[in-house]
């Protein structure tokens, strides 16, 4: 890891375009959000857009989920072809259709399965095997110390901990005490995650938990400066315009224009959030689906986009 701050995997957000941007701002590694192992066991990996990454993203970590141990083993084996720097097992996804059948956070209910998967993967592959966990299934089943020990004892190289239960999903507050307890319990690196929203929170989580690194999810959307780390309020609007242009260019290189612009909206809404815009202009910005009109609206909103011509070349 090249920094103590890491972009969290977020499905639908952390595509190559955003990961590259955050790496440039200082995120220590790139994690490709959860991939269903079942779909990667024998497929042609080069054709899979979710698996695209650039050399400047390394170290690159592929995150897998599945309830079937054999699927995970076969997928990890197949994934060696694209030479990831580590494989991460998702033990935190709270989506009902995934967790209820024993994948994602559902795996926390089966420490033996975790032991077997981590043991087999660590002996089969010569890259680190890591896990991203929650602190338990629900408040009555807070077994993260047992899970963390199991991961370490079976060869896991690193644990990222989102300080919530599966039942909490993204609600309530992340429990940093539990992250601190895991850090005390194991010798392998622990990454703390949950509710780091500001530069001050980075320092607070570090001193509260003693964790080796900090993973930032939602607070990085529209705010890659958090990885520098630098407060969003200190970023001049001219620089926001430059980064919007860079991010949009990354998107246009990855997707066809309509898809790039519609996917970019989730980011744009957060880039422009701190700026005073009329409701009408904000709405038009966030519903525009043509590059020319989007660039015009950005100019009206006071965001100068220096790579305008390059963006136009991407769509011509």
Ligand X SMILES: Cc1cc2nc3c(=O)[nH]c(=O)nc-3n(C[C@H](O)[C@H](O)[C@H](O)COP(=O)(O)O)c2cc1C
Q: Which residues are catalytic?
A: 93
**Pick from 162, 166, 232, 263: which binds ligand X (CB under 6 A)?**
162
Q: Which range of residues in 74-82, 95-103, 115-123, 211-219 is near ligand X by CB under 6 A?
A: 211-219
Helix (H) / strand (E) element for 310: namely helix 308-315
Question: Which residues does 70 contact at the CB level (< 8 Å), separation at least 6?
Answer: none
Residue with smaller CB distance to ligand X, 34 or 303:
34
CA angle 5, 219, 184 (to 5 degrees): 45
Question: Cβ(31)–Cβ(67) under 8 Å?
Answer: no
Confirm or reject binding of residue 223 to ligand X (CB under 6 A).
no
The Cα 214–Cα 184 span in angstroms is 16
Residue with smaller CB distance to ligand X, 160 or 297:
160
Q: Of residues 81-120, which lie at the interface with ligand X (CB under 6 A)?
A: 90, 92
Confirm or reject binding of residue 18 to ligand X (CB under 6 A).
no
**Pick from 12, 55, 187, 236: which binds ligand X (CB under 6 A)?**
12
List the x/- string, 33-72, binding to ligand X by CB under 6 A.
Answer: xx----------------------------x---------
Question: Cβ(11)–Cβ(18) under 8 Å?
Answer: no
Q: Phi/psi of residue 312, each to 5°?
A: -65, -40
Query: In angstroms, how far is the first alpha carbon of the chain from the final one?
Result: 39
Question: Which residues does 258 contact at the CB level (< 8 Å), separation at least 6?
Answer: 289
The Cα 7–Cα 141 span in angstroms is 28
Residue with smaller CB distance to ligand X, 212 or 242:
212
Confirm or reject binding of residue 128 to ligand X (CB under 6 A).
no
**Pick from 217, 222, 224, 245: which binds ligand X (CB under 6 A)?**
217
**Pick from 6, 13, 64, 244: which binds ligand X (CB under 6 A)?**
13
Owner of token pair 């390059």? 310
Residues that bind ligand X (CB under 6 A): 8-13, 33-34, 63, 90, 92, 132, 162, 193-196, 216-219
């Amino acid at each position: 890891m090249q920094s103590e701050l890491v972009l969290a995997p977020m499905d639908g957000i952390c595509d190559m375009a955003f990961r590259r941007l955050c790496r440039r701002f200082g995120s220590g590694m790139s994690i490709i959000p959860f991939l269903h192992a079942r779909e990667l066991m024998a497929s042609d990996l080069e054709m899979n857009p979710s698996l695209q990454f650039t050399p400047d993203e390394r170290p690159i970590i592929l995150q897998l989920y599945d309830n079937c141990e054999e699927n995970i083993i076969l997928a990890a084996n197949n994934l060696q072809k694209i030479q990831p720097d580590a494989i991460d097992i998702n033990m935190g996804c709270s989506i009902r259709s995934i967790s209820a059948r024993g994948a994602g956070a559902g795996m926390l209910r089966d420490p033996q399965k975790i032991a077997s998967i981590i043991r087999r993967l660590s002996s089969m592959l010569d890259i680190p095997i890591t896990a991203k966990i929650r602190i338990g299934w629900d408040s009555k089943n807070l077994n993260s110390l047992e899970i963390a020990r199991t991961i370490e004892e079976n060869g896991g190289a690193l644990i990222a901990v989102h300080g919530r239960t599966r039942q909490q999903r993204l609600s309530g507050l992340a429990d940093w005490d539990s992250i601190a307890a895991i850090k005390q319990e194991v010798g392998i690196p622990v990454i703390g995650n949950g509710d780091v929203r500001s530069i001050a929170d980075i320092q607070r989580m570090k001193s509260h938990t003693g964790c080796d690194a900090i993973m930032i999810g939602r607070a990085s959307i529209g705010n890659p400066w958090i990885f520098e780390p630098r407060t969003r309020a200190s970023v001049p609007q001219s620089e926001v315009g430059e980064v919007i242009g860079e991010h949009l260019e990354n998107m246009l290189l990855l997707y066809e224009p309509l898809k790039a612009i519609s996917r970019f909206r989730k980011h744009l809404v957060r880039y422009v959030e701190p700026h005073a815009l009329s409701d009408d202009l904000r709405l038009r910005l966030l519903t525009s689906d043509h590059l020319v009109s989007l660039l015009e609206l950005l100019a009206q909103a006071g965001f100068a986009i220096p790579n305008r011509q390059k963006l136009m070349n991407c769509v011509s």
